[in-house]
Amino acid sequence: MSQHPDAGRVELTDWVTTGSAIRAIRETVFIHEQNVPVELEWDGLDSSCLHVLAWNERGDAIGTARMQKNGTIGRMAVLKDWRRCGVGRALLQTLLDLAIKQGLARVTLSAQIHALGFYERAGFHVIGEPFMDAGIPHRKMVKALTVPHANRERE
């Protein structure tokens, strides 16, 4: 696998605007590679989530993730050729920055066991016991956010 010098850009988007690109990435990664059942992948929450989408320099969508209004991050998926190139880190950082701007005190996610180190390097901590989701072992993780003083309510 070659390293990509420029993994492109990450943009905040929504399901209506870029749902077809998001769907294509998640179908490739979750349904085809990881054998997640179709009915589990399409949970009906996408239209109410904020989404991020990564594009390479040619304008191809290469990665995506979403965040629910309560700060639950999920559906992080990067196409195989673009993994270990900083795309996932950029997607996650964009959602963390957004959560801070929204004044959220913390974010949570359910990480596949193989990805725990990735999220730990981003400041997440494991909570609770391992569990199975779509036949894949996961752990719940949480990250406390430092909210800028300007966004905090006066005490």
C-beta separation of 138 from 127 below 8 A: no
Would the pLDDT of 23 be above 70?
yes
Mean pLDDT of 101-130: 95
Distance (Å, whole) CA 114 – CA 111: 8
User: What's the pLDDT at 67?
Assistant: 98
- The domain locations on the chain are 9-151
Q: What is the pTM of this model?
A: 0.88
- The one-letter amino acid code at 44 reads G
Domain 9-151: CATH architecture, name and number where available: 3-Layer(aba) Sandwich (3.40)
Would the pLDDT of 2 be above 70?
no
Reported as a pLDDT band with limits 50, 70 and 90, residue 6 is low
CB contact set of 42 (below 8 Å; sequence gap of 6+):
none
pLDDT in tens, 46-74: 999 999 999 999 999 999 999 999 999 99
Distance (Å, whole) CA 90 – CA 84: 11
User: What's the pLDDT at 8?
Assistant: 73
Mean pLDDT of 31-52: 94
